[in-house]
Structure 1
Amino acid sequence: MLSCGNHWWNATASALNLGLHADDCWLAALPLFHVGGLAIILRGAIYGIPVVLHERFDAHAVNAAIETERVTIISVVATTLQRMLDARGATPYPQHFRCALLGGGPAPRPLLELCAELGVPVAQTYGMTESASQAATLAPGDALRKLGSAGQALLPVGLRIGTVEREAAPGEVGEILLAGPTITSGYVGQPTASAAALRGGWLHTGDLGYRDAEGYLYVVERRSDLIISGGENIYPAEVEAALLAHPAVVEAGVVGMPDAQWGQRPVAVVVLRQPVASAELLAFVRERLASYKLPRDIVVRESLPRTASGKLQRARLREQLED
């Protein structure tokens, strides 16, 4: 359940963080049944700014609209942003384009570095349906200084790492907890799930992360996506980032598969720009990861299963590997 108040506070918090310009125009290419798409429509009404609505994401159409419709802000996930850059090539974006709001999970470091190199203003964000979209956002001015961070909690949002009883120390990984006027009051018709998620005045997100000494949030992984192999914790996003640093890899997904000896073993699925041997990819990531984090298998596919908003469907990917 999300109230009008939840959305109003979220829109206000976003404006205070990103600023609000008289000539702003937000492009919505996310599905409207997803909170990310719905939030754009509501912000447009609350701010009194135009929203350019696309039926579906198409990189060429989005790039064209930034020019012809003078779009200043767009909400994207890592995959769609990468497609925009690939379609754009070396042509710089116009100066009026001031923010690509990047959500949907931890962003690959190579993508963020490419955006910095090309001068694309990226604001990495962390949020979910239960927080009416954004809960923390990195200001574009901090994009290089805090590369990979989701920023600081938006003004009315309470954020802590750890438990209700104990807050984690800076740099210590723990569960991300949220509180404040943007947070849902519960799940419709699901009292058990509501009670499990909303405890002690905090929303227990199930996400893992840490904050640095300045309070900037770094999202590590969904707790449910964590791979435990031989007693060691392996974060799929870290392995994916190492694979995506290879110039031949377009997309990467890593999941834990059952293993009689280790409990789970990490398996990687990649989409390639050009042919490359699995042995070469493995040698490449070995230079970037501890040995226990290395994927035991690397599978090449033409595409990865994703939601309508572009998020990787790990459960579906695991099912495909089991078939």
Structure 2
Amino acid sequence: MENWLVKRAKLDPNKIALILEHADFTFSELNSTVQLFAGKLYSSGIRQNDPVALFTDNCFNGYVAILALQQLGTRTIFLDTELSQATLTYQLHDCNPKMILISDSANTREIKQITWNKAFMSDILSLRKDPKYQPISEFTDTQVSSVFYTPSADSNDTGVMLTYGNYFYSAMGTALNLGINKKDSWVLTLPLFNVPGFIIIMRALIYGIGVYLIDGFDIDHINKVLINERATIISLIPSLLRELLNNLPKGQRYNDNFRCIFLGTGRIDNWTLLRCNMLEIPVLQSYGMTETTSNISALNFDDAEIKAGSCGQPFFTTQIRITNINQDNIGNIELKSPTVAVGYLNKQELYQSRFTEDGFFKTGDVGYLDDDNFLYIKGRQADLIYSGDKIIYPEEVENIFRSVNGIIDICIVGIPGKDGKEVPVAYLTMQENAFLTSADLQEFGQHNLVDYQVPSEYRQIDKFPKSTNGKILRNRLLNLDYKTI
């Protein structure tokens, strides 16, 4: 495939590619800026196939740096800007980059302490462009474009290697599902250093659409963009969607061109879905993971209402099956897709262990397919709570409790009970003016859940430990200080 940015600049030179708060860039202007920066990176000694670590927030220079590294054909390792120094050090030793390229606007406190060959983007910009520089002419399907580390609570993080072929097929699956057209524009507010954020950049090049780049989750600014601009799609996670709705000015609606919220990373509660329906905001739930290059199934517009709660049918590019089905007709989700990562960095044995003998990838999630082949997610296999011969699916319980006024968020985990069974306990964060007691929550649970699903204890905490893509790290909860309510 011809270099995506170069190709897009030829096809749509005058089309808006990037929209910032105070400036717009066409594909031609973006390409010129990127090529200049790539030439300066070349002057610094970066060459094709070099591993380069990138430490950036959602800033213009970071966006340009991502595309510039692609022009050089590097293997870009994305570093999470919110990680501890110890975790960053581990990841750097694991991937061994030739250089760490750092955004001047990112929070650099932790990474500044790390001894490594690193350069701030402002340092690179001060260099002269090497006249010998030429962008690579083609991207191959098997060329590793990027490495993303997946967080783990109890072991070292794992680098997931994704190729240009992975991204292309992912974009094709999403386009067929959403019916992408040239009038679309995507709001990018998720972190660039996670796949759900970064993949918007890749889709935009393939589709030839504009991207609204927003640094940080500025709720008021995002709502203003969705109300006043021509933005048509935004990718969100459930907790961020709830924040947007809570701060949407009364009586306001999103702009007439707005098409949908593309939702990932966990199930959405029924109350939030109802609020979206009342505000006429289409929500398309999706399913995917880092190893599948983000989404591999999603609801489409026709099915969003009749299949609420589902993650849609598998994309045209993906096969999904359910194995080891239990007494609740729930089983392990396995899949085949050209979007599945080509490997784990330095952990090939672990990577191979994720596949069945007939080549299906074991996601580690559980769920079911209905008679119409729509996928429903019940959670992570490792998170299930076994109460004797009964199975508790934590996300089901959490979904019910999120309708309680005063609860900000809630997470259910299992602990050993006196009779050898696991019992559910609830960790929750509450609003300052909430006056909820364990008796209130217990009564609510008994009225809305089966007895064995009702938490035996309610533990209030200050803040949930989360990955930067918004996932609660459940197996860190038991180590937190809490107040029993």
Flag whether TM exceeds 0.5 (same fold): yes
Q: CA deviation at 1:322?
A: 8.2
Q: Tell me, what secondary structure is at the counterpart of 1:62?
A: helix
Per-residue deviation, 1:68: 4.0
Q: Does 1:282 align with 2:282?
A: no
More deviation, 115-124/76-85: 115-124
Given candidates 182, 197, 203, the residue that maps to 1:22 is 182
Secondary structure of 1:84's match? helix
The one of 200, 215, 222 equivalent to 1:62 is 222
1:256 to 414, 431, 446: 414
Look up the SS of the partner of 1:140 in the other structure.
Answer: coil
Moved more, 60-69 or 215-224: 60-69
Q: 1:151 aligns with which of 312, 320, 326?
A: 312
- Structure 1, 235-244 or 47-56: larger mean CA deviation: 47-56
- 1:203-214 matches, within 5 Å, as 203-214=361-372
For residues 58 and 260 of structure 1, the distance between their equivalents in structure 2, rounded to whole angstroms, comes to: 46
Amino acid at match of 1:307: S
The equivalent residue for 1:219 is: 377
Matched with 1:184 is 341
Matching residue of 1:45: 205
Pairing of 1:29-178 with structure 2 (within 5 A): 29-90=189-250, 91-162=252-323, 172-178=329-335
Secondary structure at 1:46 match in 2: helix
1:265 aligns with 2:423: yes
Moved more, 36-45 or 85-94: 85-94
Q: Specify the structure having the higher radius of gyration (Cα).
A: 2
After TM superposition, the score normalised by the length of structure 1 is 0.93
> Does structure 1 conserve the Cα–Cα contact (< 8 Å) formed by 2:459 and 2:482?
no
Deviations 1:162-188 (A, max 9, x none): 16xxxx59x821011110211122212
Cα offset, 1:321, TM superposition: 5.2
> What's the Cα RMSD here?
1.9
Between the aligned partners of 1:88 and 1:12, the Cα distance in structure 2 is 33
Q: State the SS of the aligned residue for 1:71.
A: coil
Moved more, 204-213 or 114-123: 114-123
How far did 1:2 drift?
1.3
After superposing on structure 2, the runs of 4+ consecutive aligned residues of structure 1 that deviate more than 4 Å are none
AA at the equivalent of 2:329: E
What SS does the aligned partner of 1:283 have?
helix
Q: 2:355 aligns with which of 186, 198, 221?
A: 198
* Percent of matched pairs sharing the same residue: 36
CA deviation after TM superposition for structure 1 residue 232, in Å: 2.1
Q: Which has the higher contact order (CA 8 A, sep 6+)?
A: 1
Deviates more, 1:10-19 or 1:282-291: 282-291
Residue-pair matches, total:
318
Quickly say closer, same or farther: Cα 1:322–1:246, change in 2 above 3 A. Answer: closer
Q: In the alignment, is the contact (CA less than 8 A) between 2:397 and 2:449 conserved in 1?
A: yes
Aligned residues of 2:430 and 2:460 also touching (Cα < 8 A)? yes
Of stretches 1-10 and 227-236 in structure 1, the one that deviates more from structure 2 is: 227-236
Name the structure 1 match of 2:398: 240
Structure 2 letter corresponding to 1:213: D
Deviations 1:167-224 (A, max 9, x none): x59x821011110211122212212211210222110001000011111100001001
Question: Is the 2:429–2:461 contact (alpha carbons within 8 Å) kept by the matching residues of 1?
Answer: yes
Counterparts of 1:320 and 1:229, CA distance in 2: 23
Question: Match of 2:305, as an amino acid?
Answer: L
1:236-269: per-residue Cα shift (whole Å, max 9, x none)? Answer: 1011011112223221111112334334221112
CA distance in 1, matches of 2:478, 2:300: 35
Q: Distance in 1 between matches of 2:455 and 2:274?
A: 24
Query: Which of 137, 160, 170 pairs up with 1:10?
Result: 170
Give ranges in structure 1 of 5+ residues lacking alignment. Answer: none
Q: Distance in 1 between matches of 2:323 and 2:249?
A: 42
Query: How far does residue 55 in structure 1 lie from its aligned partner after superposition?
Result: 2.0
Aligned 8 A contact 1:172 1:211 in 2:
no
Deviation of the 1:15 alpha carbon: 0.7
- Determine if the alignment matches structure 1 residue 320 to structure 2 residue 477: no
Stretches of structure 2 that go unaligned for 5 or more consecutive residues are 1-160
Q: Which residue of 2 aligns with 1:301?
A: 461
- 8 Å contact 1:186–1:198 — kept in the other structure? no
Compute the displacement of 1:231 (Å).
3.6
